[in-house]
Amino acid sequence: MNPNQLQTPIVYLKGVGPNRAETLKSELGITTFGELLQLYPNRYLDKTQYYKINQLQLSGADVQILGKIIHIKTVEQKRGKRLVATFVDDTGEIELVWFRGQKWIRENLRLNEPYVVFGRLNKYGNSFSMPHPEMELLKEHQSGMKIAMQPIYPSTEKLSAKGITNRIISKMLQQLFLETRANFSETLNEELRTSLKLISRSEALLNIHFPKNQDLLAKAQFRLKFEELFFVQLQLLSKKAARKQKIKGMPFSTVGHFFNDFFNHHLPFELTGAQKRVIKEIRGDLGSSAQMNRLLQGDVGSGKTIVALMCMLLAIDNGFQACLMAPTEILAQQHYNGLKELLRKMEVKIALLTGSTKKTERTLLHNQLENGNLNILVGTHAVLEDKVQFKNLGLAIIDEQHRFGVAQRSKLWQKNEIPPHILVMTATPIPRTLAMSLYGDLDISIIDELPPGRQAIKTVHRYDSNRLKVFGFIRDEIKKGRQIYIVYPLIQESEALDYKDLMDGYESIVREFPLPDYQISIVHGKMKPKDKDYEMERFVKGETHIMVATTVIEVGVNVPNASVMIIESAERFGLSQLHQLRGRVGRGAEQSYCVLMTSHKLSEEARTRLETMVRTSDGFEIAEVDLKLRGPGDLMGTQQSGLLNLKIADIVRDNQILKSARYYAIQTLKNDPKLEKPENRAIRNTYAQLTQGKAIWGYIS
Ligand code: ADP
Ligand code: MG
C-alpha cells in the first residue's frame, strides 16, 4: 500500500465531497487522511457497564447507573426553578436535576421503578448529581439494542449546521479505517514497546476511535499520549544538543582571584545549599567551550543577585566584562547600589547606565567599556543601544526576563564576535518537572530554598465590608514605624474604570490618613517616568508611609521596611501576580502581612486562588495550582516548545507520562544520538517527518 496514503487530501475519502472537505478544513483544520485520523474524541459514552453509586468518579466519561427514584421535588432558585429527583441503588444516592422541560418530566417519571439512567456527573461537595440524564425504564432498556463505547468528537456550531454530526464523523473514520485497512506503521522501537507494555500503533488508533472496552481505551490513550510526548521531547533534546555543538562560547577556564577573594573574604552571609549548587551548575557551563544559555529560577527573595554577582566575578577572572540588565530604572538602580556595596572592598569597576544617565557621563562610560576599564555594567534597555560597545563582553545577565523579548536577547548576542554567555533570572516559578520538559533552548537551574531565618508572611483574606478594621490595622503598623503598600488592579480591557477605582481609592485613603501625620505616595502607569521615580524614591527613603499603586511595583522593588501588602480586588489578579506582589514584603526583620481584599461575589476559581495564597507561600506549589487552573498557555516559552499543539496529551494532567516520555527520549538519544541503529528506524522516520513540518505521524505500510 502507498506509504504516503495518510497525506491523501480528505476530499478523496468516500463520503467526503468538496463541501464537507471545505467545512472540515475551516472548522477543524483537517485537510488529509492523517489529520482526520488524529481528530481524537473528547470523551466517550460508556454503555458497556453499570456503575454502582459508591463507585462513581469524576472521570469525564458519561456513566450508566441502575436504580430507582424515591423522591421528586421542585427547588426554587434565583433564576427560575429546578426539578430534583433523588435516585438510589443499594450503595448510595445521587440527584438527578432538570432545568428545562420540568412539567413533562415530572408527569412522566415513575417513583420506585427500576430505571437505567445515563449521563455526565457533576460533583458538589461529597455528592454527585447528573443534569438532564437520559432515562429509560429497565424493562424497556433490556428489550432495546446495546451500544458499546461511543466516541464523542470535538464539534462546532458550524459543523452541526452543515450536518457534520458526531455520527457522520464516526462514519468518516470507519471509512478511513476501511480504505487504509487499519494498518498503520509503527513509530516506536521494540524495546520501548516491551518495557512500557505499549499496544501497537494500529491497535491504539483503532481503539481510540472504536474502543472495544475501557481497558483497551486506556491502553490506546496511554500509547498515543506517550508517543506524542516522546517525539516532542526528542525534538527539544536534539535541538538543545545541536545548539551546544554549533554555538561556540568562550570558556571561562579559571576560577581566579576575584571569585576567590569575594568568596573567602567578602560574602556577607553563608550561601544556601541551593545557591551553591546553582553556582556550580553555571560554572560547569561557563567552563565548557559551548555558549551558555541558562535560565535561573528562584522564588522572590531566594537570593539570585549574589549568584549573578559571583558569575560576573568569574567572567572578570577570565579577562572578560559582564553586564546585568533589569527591566526598570528603579530596579537597575537598586542592583547597582547593592552590588557596589558588596564589592566596596574589592578592585572591581562597576557602573550604571540607564535612560537618564547624563550625556557627559555616558560618553565617559562608552569609552571605559570600549577600552576595557570597566568590569561590570548594570543597566536597563539602554545597555542594548548600538552605541554601547564592549571590549570583550563575556557574560550577560538578564533579571526578570518576562519583560525582555527574544529580539532583545538576540541583540545581546551581537555585542561580540563570539556570543556572550547568557543567564536569564526569573522569579516566576514554573513547576520543576514541567520546566525541565518545556524549554528547548535553555538549560535550567533552580534555587528552591530560601535563606534561613525568614519570617513567613501572614496572609489573610478580607471582604470589603471589613475595610474599617483593615484601616485600623494599617494605622497600628504605621505607628510601629512600618510602611504599607496598597495595590489596585489595572487591566488593559478595563483601563478607564480601573483608573477610576485607583483614584477613588486614593482619595479615600487620603481622607482616612490625612496630612500632616501621614504621607502618601501614588504611582501608576499614566504618570511620567520622572514623577513615578520621584514618588517611588520618597517611599524607598521612608519619607512616605503608604504607597498606593497599580501593579507597576510588581517587579523587584526592595523596601525592607514595608511590611504590609494590601491587594485591592484581589479576585481579579492571577495567582502568579498575587505571589509576586506578596513578595514585595517580608524583606526585613519584622513580621509582614498580606491582606487580600475582595467583594463577596467570588467565582469558584477566584476562591481557589485566594485559598491557595492564604495556605502557602511556596512559589512552586502556587505555580502548580496556577497551571491547573489556567493551563500552560500563559507560561513563557510554551509557544515555541510545541507543547501547546498537542493532539491528545495534556502536559498538566499527563505529567507522569510526560516525565516518562522525557526519560525514555533521553535514554534513546544516549544510546543512539543520531538514531542510526536499525532498531530505531521507525523513530528516525517519524522524527524526520515531524521536523519537516509535516503534520503526519506515520504512514501506512
Ligand atoms: P531575589 O532572588 O528575589 O533577587 P535577592 O537576591 O534580592 O533575591 O535576595 C533577597 C535578600 O536575601 C537580599 O537582601 C539578600 O542579601 C539576602 N540573601 C541572599 N542570599 C542569602 C543567604 N544565603 N543568606 C542570607 N541572606 C541572603
Ligand atoms: Mg531580584
How far apart CA 598 and CA 571 sit, in angstroms, is 6
Contacts of residue 32, defined as CB under 8 A and 6 or more positions apart, other chains included, come to: 6, 7, 8, 9, 10, 695, 696
Give the position, in ligand 1's atom list, of the atom nearest the Cα of 300. 3
Which cell numbers hold the place of 555? 517587579
Query: What is the distance in A from the centroid of ligand 1 to the CA of 338?
Result: 11
Answer whether 271 contacts ligand 1 (Cβ < 6 A). yes
- Between CA 4 and CA 11, with CA 5 as vertex, the angle to 5 degrees is 130
Nearest CA to ligand 1 atom 22: 451
* CB of 150 closer than 8 Å to CB of 45: yes
Q: What is the DSSP letter of 51?
A: B
Contacts of residue 487, defined as CB under 8 A and 6 or more positions apart, other chains included, come to: 549, 550, 551, 553, 565, 566, 567, 568, 581
pLDDT (0 to 100) of residue 320? 95
Q: Which of 263, 267, 269 to mutate to test the pocket of ligand 1 (most atoms within 8 A of CB)?
A: 269
Q: How far is CA 378 from CA 322, 326, 419, 595, in A?
A: 9, 8, 19, 34
Query: What is the distance in A from the centroid of ligand 2 to the CA of 383?
Result: 18
Q: Which of 275, 276, 305, 581 to mutate to test the pocket of ligand 1 (most atoms within 8 A of CB)?
A: 305
In three-state form (DSSP H/G/I as H, E/B as E, the rest C), the secondary structure along 238-276 is: HHHHHHHHHCECCCCCCCCHHHHHHHHHHCCCCCCHHHH
How far apart CA 79 and CA 90 sit, in angstroms, is 34
Query: What is the distance in A from the centroid of ligand 1 to the CA of 587?
Result: 9
Answer whether 334 contacts ligand 1 (Cβ < 6 A). no
How far apart CA 519 and CA 541 sit, in angstroms, is 12
* CB of 677 closer than 8 Å to CB of 669: no
Where b means 16+ CB within 10 Å and e means fewer, 628-644 reads ebbebeebebbeebbbe
pLDDT (0 to 100) of residue 698? 25
- Phi, psi torsion values for 66, nearest 5 degrees: -110, 130
* CB of 189 closer than 8 Å to CB of 201: no
How far apart CA 100 and CA 385 sit, in angstroms, is 65
3-state secondary structure of 182: coil
Q: Give residue for cell 521494540.
A: 190
Query: What is the distance in A from the centroid of ligand 2 to the CA of 527?
Result: 24
pLDDT (0 to 100) of residue 115? 94
Q: How far is CA 105 from CA 102, 314, 685, in A?
A: 5, 77, 57
Answer whether 588 contacts ligand 1 (Cβ < 6 A). no
Tell me the sheet residues that pair with 9: 32
3-state secondary structure of 362: helix
Query: What is the distance in A from the centroid of ligand 1 to the CA of 271?
Result: 9
* CB of 439 closer than 8 Å to CB of 641: yes
How far apart CA 624 and CA 647 sit, in angstroms, is 22
Query: What is the distance in A from the centroid of ligand 1 to the CA of 451?
Result: 7
pLDDT (0 to 100) of residue 682? 93
Domains of the chain: 50-143 (2.40.50.140), 458-616 (3.40.50.300)
Burial label, 441 (beta-carbon count in 10 A; 0-12, 13-18, 19+): middle
Picking from 344, 271, 277, 350, the residue whose alpha carbon sits closest to that of residue 316 is: 350
- pLDDT tens profile 389-441: 999 999 999 987 555 555 666 676 677 777 889 898 987 777 666 666 666 55
How far apart CA 125 and CA 601 sit, in angstroms, is 19
- Phi, psi torsion values for 505, nearest 5 degrees: -60, -45
**Cis bond before residue 516 (omega within 30° of 0):** yes
Integer-rounded Cα Rg, in Å, for the chain is: 31
Picking from 398, 377, 399, the residue whose alpha carbon sits closest to that of residue 389 is: 377
Give the position, in ligand 1's atom list, of the atom nearest the Cα of 302. 2
This prediction has a pTM of: 0.66
Nearest CA to ligand 1 atom 18: 303
Q: Is 125 left (phi over 0), alpha (psi -120 to 50) or beta?
A: left
Give the position, in ligand 1's atom list, of the atom nearest the Cα of 271. 23
- pLDDT tens profile 23-45: 999 999 999 999 999 999 988 87
How far apart CA 90 and CA 62 sit, in angstroms, is 20
Give the position, in ligand 1's atom list, of the atom nearest the Cα of 560. 14
How far apart CA 646 and CA 650 sit, in angstroms, is 7
Q: Which of 304, 306, 448 to mutate to test the pocket of ligand 1 (most atoms within 8 A of CB)?
A: 306
* CB of 434 closer than 8 Å to CB of 444: no
Residue ranges of the chain with pLDDT lower than 70? Answer: 1-4, 58-61, 143-148, 401-410, 412-413, 431-441, 492, 552-556, 631-645, 693-701
Nearest CA to ligand 1 atom 16: 303
Give the position, in ligand 1's atom list, of the atom nearest the Cα of 558. 7
* CB of 222 closer than 8 Å to CB of 657: yes
pLDDT (0 to 100) of residue 409? 62
- Beta-strand ranges (E) seen in 584-693 are 593-598
Torsion sign across C-alpha atoms 398, 399, 404, 405: positive
How far apart CA 301 and CA 592 sit, in angstroms, is 14
At CB < 8 A and 24+ separation, what contacts does 198-202 make?
198/222, 198/223, 198/226, 199/223, 201/227, 201/698
- Beta-strand ranges (E) seen in 306-427 are 321-325, 350-353, 376-379, 393-399, 421-426
Burial label, 114 (beta-carbon count in 10 A; 0-12, 13-18, 19+): middle
Tell me the sheet residues that pair with 136: 116
* CB of 665 closer than 8 Å to CB of 230: yes
How far apart CA 400 and CA 381 sit, in angstroms, is 13
Nearest CA to ligand 1 atom 17: 303
Query: What is the distance in A from the centroid of ligand 2 to the CA of 26?
Result: 47
Q: Which of 275, 302, 424 to mutate to test the pocket of ligand 1 (most atoms within 8 A of CB)?
A: 302
Which cell numbers hold the place of 425? 533570572
How far apart CA 621 and CA 607 sit, in angstroms, is 16
* CB of 647 closer than 8 Å to CB of 695: no
Query: What is the distance in A from the centroid of ligand 1 to the CA of 324?
Result: 17
What is the identity of the amino acid at 676? E
Picking from 169, 164, 208, the residue whose alpha carbon sits closest to that of residue 40 is: 208
Query: What is the distance in A from the centroid of ligand 1 to the CA of 304?
Result: 7
How far apart CA 215 and CA 221 sit, in angstroms, is 10
How far apart CA 176 and CA 119 sit, in angstroms, is 29
In three-state form (DSSP H/G/I as H, E/B as E, the rest C), the secondary structure along 572-610 is: HCCHHHHHHHHCCCCCCCCCCEEEEEECCCCCHHHHHHH
Which cell numbers hold the place of 222? 496511554
How far apart CA 60 and CA 44 sit, in angstroms, is 8
Query: What is the distance in A from the centroid of ligand 2 to the CA of 545?
Result: 23
Q: How far is CA 235 from CA 228, 255, 367, 430, 683, in A?
A: 11, 35, 44, 21, 12
